[in-house]
Structure 1
Amino acid sequence: MSGSIAGIVETLRSWLYCAFLSPVTEVLSSLPRSRERTPPPVKTRDVVLLLFERFPLIPFSCLVDCMRTANRFTADHAYRWHLVSPDGQNVCSSSGVQVTVEGPLEDVAACDRILLVATNENQYFADEQTFRNLWTLDRRGALLGSASSGSFVLARAGLLDGYRCTIHWENLPVFRELYPHLEITSNIYEIDRSRGTCSGGTAALDMMLKLVEQDCGHEMARRISQIYQHDRLRTPDDRQRMENRYDLIRLSPKLAEAIDLMQNNIEDPLTPQEVASHVDVSLRQLERLFRKYRDTTPQKYYLKLRLENARQLLLYTSWSGLDVAIASGFSSHSHFIKSYRDVYGRTPREERVPDTDRSE
């Protein structure tokens, strides 16, 4: 009796499996596994990084690591990068890290992008062969860009004419004086057709993420951003954080507007009354805002901006003291010298003498 019951149970089990479980199992096995994502196919792009002696390491790392991470998430590597220098010699970063390059720039026949990583010491870089090589790559369709002060090199070569561009805020005064015909912004990066420039530092990551977005889609760029704990994908409309500007906009938009106005009128300074009128406040209101948030007067703050501009020109150009004074809004050379010494404790001429050469 027990044997016949066991046989009936086994028969029912086999029937149920064939009728219901087997088809369901076949359907489930045919479905793709959620964890097995096939990386999207993309075009592989060749990116050349042109490194100059004493190049900054942070923007260089941002570029390379962003491309490396993009390669992790694509079926075919999205990027191949090549390291070169103007003369093919190995280069040393500003922090002392030695980098081996593949060769000189002139060996690069073609590429999709070439990004310059340079220091502000390269603002007078004038190697004609390098300029010719860059122009050749431009004619062959490469995007030319800068991850740091390489904007100086591109501008000197005439390769930024007619394009929006940017540079680190510390270099903006010198850059604007040297190239007044360029459309220079204070944004963190600019991508304008076949040109891409950024303000250095981690802004190189923002610019590279934007290029990844163009190449591989928004989701890929967002995913890489999260890998690097980057809070969001910043856009070219994001401005550089100059002197806690965002906090100031939140606390006092009128004062932020007044400071922007002063920064954009260094060579031909406005009077405090003119500044107040432009931002639609009274002179007394403007004075109260400067006293509350900057602990100074509008006149002293404006003078500080003009002297900072002068200091950058003294350190990074070969202009005469008189030319520096005029470009910084001083009609009297003697007044410029006195004002400079009062703030920095040395004359403009002494500013250009290395510390090791100054007499004690």
Structure 2
Amino acid sequence: MQHSALRTIPTPTPVPKRSIVFLLAPNFSMIAFAMAIEPLRIANRILGFESYRWRLASTDGEPVLASNGVEITVSSSVEDERRHLAGERRPSMVFVCAGVFVEDFNDRSSYAFLREAHGRGVSVGGLCTGAWILARAGLLADRRCAIHWENLPGFSEAFPRADVHADLFEIDHNIYTCAGGTASLDMMLALIGDDHGEDVVNRVCEQALTDRVRASNDRQRLPLRARLGVQHAKVLAIIEIMEANLGEPLSLVEISRGVQLSRRQVERLFEKEMGRSPARYYLEIRLDRARHLLLQSSLPIVEIAVASGFVSASHFSKCYRELYGRSPQQERAARAMASAAAA
């Protein structure tokens, strides 16, 4: 790329607009972090001045290991940043970037820093699973927020007062959250658009080789049709009904009424299109929800069983072992070992 060919956009007041702190949690998502910081760098280059400044922080000021094994050096600790809140280096925004094993993060000084920053009028945000840390800090009660779809079941159970959505990103007043991955780019493009307009956003997209700006409420996951490789409209409608009723499963008769088919028609259709019975498929997606709760929450197994539509923990354990080859207790123990190894 010819750097000299990049036309900057003139501005009468080349004054930095935002100062941002990225607080990196252990095992943070590198893709979420890079997708947040790079559009800011590109925007600065297009504008021809430093509209966005940033610095990196960790809980103790030491380097942080991302989930991909890359170690990132930071310039400050939470304690340093807390002191900056009362001085000239106070940021205008703080983003917490997290990733896998966020449920194990428990740093009271970070929670206190985030609460104080928010109380002083600093915008706060979460990248990927950073919403979990914001919720632990008490900042997401009755607030719209977004988190990665894989973490949504555990988050919903752990923080029932948070108004969580399976959207790409959410901006609720001065609280910013996104689902991670490439959704960080979308949220930052929205921020840049608010600051500098659509023309700058389009030019950032051109530099980043992305051909569209996604809306905040665009879906995180592939559509069912693409995800499952199923084209039959009735089967897709049945699966949508099932996915919307995991905690309190509907009977096959109720599902059949919802798609205006007989029970026998639904059974034949499912066998043909999915290769298994509707009852079996419904069981599998409920167990998948249970597995996410086992891995991402500290809920007792009996509560996970109930939240996944099982009448008893024993029946849940039996079904779980049959599908995954290990008991719920063994699953949770394996997860604890993996978390300890990553620490």
Q: 1:120 aligns with which of 100, 125, 129?
A: 100
1:182 aligns with 2:182: no
Counterpart CA distance in 2 for 1:230 and 1:91 is 29
After TM superposition, the structure 1 = structure 2 runs for residues 286-325 of structure 1, keeping only pairs within 5 Å, are 286-287=266-267, 289-325=269-305
Counterpart CA distance in 2 for 1:114 and 1:337 is 42
Encode CA deviations 1:240-282: one digit per residue, 9 max, x unaligned. Answer: 1157456779945554443333223222111122233345554
Aligned to 1:9: none
Q: 1:324 to 1:248 in 2, by over 3 A?
A: closer
Structure 2 unaligned segments of length 5 or more: list them.
Answer: 338-343
Q: 2:67 aligns with which of 72, 91, 94?
A: 94
Aligned to 2:254: 274
Encode CA deviations 1:156-177: one digit per residue, 9 max, x unaligned. Answer: 1111112111111111111111
1:307 Cα deviation from its structure 2 partner = 0.5
Aligned to 1:263: 243
Counterpart CA distance in 2 for 1:35 and 1:148 is 31
Higher RCO by CA contacts (8 Å cutoff, separation 6 or greater) = 2
May I ask how many residue pairs the two structures share in their alignment? 324
Q: 1:287 to 1:349 in 2, by over 3 A?
A: same
Counterpart CA distance in 2 for 1:38 and 1:135 is 37
Task: Give the secondary-structure state (helix, strand or coil) at the position aligned to 2:22.
Answer: strand
Aligned to 2:126: 146
Counterpart CA distance in 2 for 1:259 and 1:180 is 25
Counterpart CA distance in 1 for 2:32 and 2:6 is 34
Structure 1 unaligned segments of length 5 or more: list them.
Answer: 1-33
Counterpart CA distance in 2 for 1:254 and 1:60 is 40
After TM superposition, the structure 1 = structure 2 runs for residues 1-360 of structure 1, keeping only pairs within 5 Å, are 38-40=9-11, 41=13, 43-108=16-81, 109=85, 110-242=90-222, 244=224, 251-287=231-267, 289-354=269-334
Structure 1 contact 116–150 (Cα < 8 Å) conserved: yes
Encode CA deviations 1:169-226: one digit per residue, 9 max, x unaligned. Answer: 1111111111222211111211222111111111111111111111111121122112
Structure 1 contact 263–305 (Cα < 8 Å) conserved: yes
Amino acid in structure 1 at the alignment position of 2:44: N
Encode CA deviations 1:66-111: one digit per residue, 9 max, x unaligned. Answer: 1110010113212001100122222111122111111112322122
Structure 1 contact 169–242 (Cα < 8 Å) conserved: no
Structure 2 contact 224–236 (Cα < 8 Å) conserved: no
Alpha-carbon RMSD across the aligned residues, in angstroms, is 2.6
Task: Give the secondary-structure state (helix, strand or coil) at the position aligned to 1:353.
Answer: helix
Amino acid in structure 2 at the alignment position of 1:326: V
1:44 Cα deviation from its structure 2 partner = 2.1
Encode CA deviations 1:4-45: one digit per residue, 9 max, x unaligned. Answer: xxxxxxxxxxxxxxxxxxxxxxxxxxxxxx997543356521
Structure 2 contact 28–100 (Cα < 8 Å) conserved: no
Counterpart CA distance in 2 for 1:235 and 1:195 is 17
- The percent identity for this pair of structures is 39
Counterpart CA distance in 2 for 1:72 and 1:262 is 48
Structure 1 contact 266–329 (Cα < 8 Å) conserved: yes
* TM-score, normalising length: structure 2: 0.86
Structure 1 contact 262–270 (Cα < 8 Å) conserved: yes
1:61 Cα deviation from its structure 2 partner = 0.8
